[in-house]
Amino acid sequence: MRIGFVGGGTGGHFYPLIAVAEVLIQNPEKPDLYYFGPTPYAPELLEAYNITFVRCPAGKLRRYFSLLNVVDVFKTGFGIFVAIWKLYWYYPDVIFSKGGYTSVPILLAARFLRIPVVIHESDVQPGRANRLAKKFARYIAISWAESAEYFPGERTALTGIPIRQHLLHADPDAHANLGIPNDAPLVYVTGGSLGAERINTLILNSLNELLPHVRIFHQTGSNNEEYVKQTARELLVDRPDWLERYYVAGTIPANTVNSLLSAASIVISRAGSTSLYEIGVHGVPAIIIPIPEEISHDQRSNAYTYARTGGAVVIEEHNLTEHLLETELLHMLQDTARYQEMSAAAKAAVPTGGAAAISEALLQIGHEHGS
């Protein structure tokens, strides 16, 4: 059996594909796996899971005015022709799409060639690629119950987000593996794989108020790492003992993410669905700062949907101040009963069988198509 993967551009699209691949390669049928797209988000993971990369161009439709939108219309059109040829050559039994602009040529080519499609929607409000694909997808997996209204009920299942297996289990030696003493609550700050400038600035401005109470691990995005480190050294020049409680990294390996989520007392995060699920799996209370609505249509709805479960609080970026963050964070840590309730609610909020459910659907549909 041959199974094609498509979707990416960000870790939130790519890592769930890898989670499904982890399950499929353990199946006795050992299907051949292919990843279609312009460039893989993490090429080393394709190699690790023996996934063949098949290059297929795709154009991006931006939500703001840009001349690149005109160029990318032609790129998408060319990508459709390339996708038809590539899919005809490899002819997978089924395609699994995570959405995103990279998936559009492959989805349209699959429909033309009558190759069945399984799609997964991470966000509460579906993106344009999945809105397109829902008309012909054989199986539609969703992450939040609130998404069901956007899809045909007879083909839709609430599976949750596929999570990589190593993230499903807490790291019992998290502090030791991180090299961080377990003598104060650890706050894990992440702005997503690219970082978030607004959150970086907020944390820097809050160091003097927070570091007497907590240790902070701050993922800044690779382009911001040196600036954040230098600024922190300047701000804390008279308090080297506080500077030792502040850890900065541009990007974080997958194993380190698991250790951080296992060791953290609080997470401060954007509202990407995969990030929210990983936080929930570890039962860590969170402060969620969604990207503003005018920039991202999905993060605000993700944030409030997750917060309604009781596992997190939401602070809108336009309301964000150092004092508000400090007050909310310390209150969460000091109110033991509330903290325990939030932790339990976070764990209960996220189903963890998504990778297995989607893998089963892919194998079943692949067999039906192959026969």
- Tokens 């499903």 label which residue? 168
What's the CA gap between 239 and 233, in Å, rounded? 9
Assess contact for 188 and 261: CB atoms under 8 A. Answer: yes
Q: ∠ CA 168-173-174 to the nearest 5 degrees?
A: 65
DSSP string covering 28-60? TT--EEEEEESS-S-HHHHHHTTEEEEE-----
Residue 1 pLDDT: 94
Please give the sequence-ordered ranges of beta strands (E in DSSP) within the chain, or none if there are none. Answer: 2-6, 32-37, 51-55, 94-97, 117-121, 139-142, 156-158, 186-190, 215-219, 246-249, 266-269, 286-288, 312-314
Residue 212 makes CB contacts below 8 A (sequence gap 6+) with 242
DSSP code for 286? E
344-369 pLDDT per residue, tens: 999 999 999 999 999 999 999 999 98
237-266 pLDDT per residue, tens: 999 999 999 999 998 887 899 999 999 999
* pLDDT of 55 above 80: yes
Residue 165 makes CB contacts below 8 A (sequence gap 6+) with 19, 22, 355
Superfamily of domain 2-162+353-370: Glycogen Phosphorylase B; (3.40.50.2000)
What's the CA gap between 257 and 177, in Å, rounded? 11
Bridge partners, 2 (sequence order): 32
Exposure string for 247-270, b = 16+ CB within 10 A, e = fewer: bbbbebeeebbbbbbbbbbbbbbb
Assess contact for 93 and 2: CB atoms under 8 A. Answer: yes
What's the CA gap between 262 and 33, in Å, rounded? 31
Query: Average pLDDT of 157-179?
Result: 94
Superfamily of domain 167-349: Glycogen Phosphorylase B; (3.40.50.2000)
By three-state DSSP, how is residue 262 classified? helix
* pLDDT of 70 above 50: no
Task: Compute the 3-state secondary structure of the chain and give helix, strand, coil in percent, each to the nearest 5.
Answer: 50, 15, 35
111-133 pLDDT per residue, tens: 999 999 999 999 999 988 899 99
- Token pair, residue 217, equals 């691990």
* pLDDT of 63 above 60: no
Using CA of residue 314, residue 318, residue 322, residue 323, what is the dihedral sign? negative
Give the least confident one: 57-71, 87-101, 288-302.
57-71
* pLDDT tier for residue 74 given thresholds of 50, 70 and 90: low
Alpha carbon 146 to chain centroid, angstroms = 18
Q: Which is more confidently placed, 150 or 10? A: 150
Assess contact for 311 and 159: CB atoms under 8 A. Answer: no
Q: Strand order in 186-190's β-sheet?
A: 246-249, 215-219, 186-190, 266-269, 286-288, 312-314
What's the CA gap between 187 and 179, in Å, rounded? 15
Query: Average pLDDT of 198-218?
Result: 94
* pLDDT of 71 above 60: no
* Count of beta carbons in the 10 Å neighbourhood of residue 287: 20
Q: Domain coordinates of the chain in residue numbers? A: 2-162+353-370, 167-349
Residue 135 pLDDT: 94
Residue 44 makes CB contacts below 8 A (sequence gap 6+) with none
Report yes or no on whether pTM surpasses 0.85: yes
DSSP code for 145? G
What's the CA gap between 39 and 10, in Å, rounded? 11
pLDDT, averaged across the chain: 91
Query: Average pLDDT of 74-78?
Result: 70
Residue 249 pLDDT: 94
Q: Which is more confidently placed, 78 or 281? A: 281
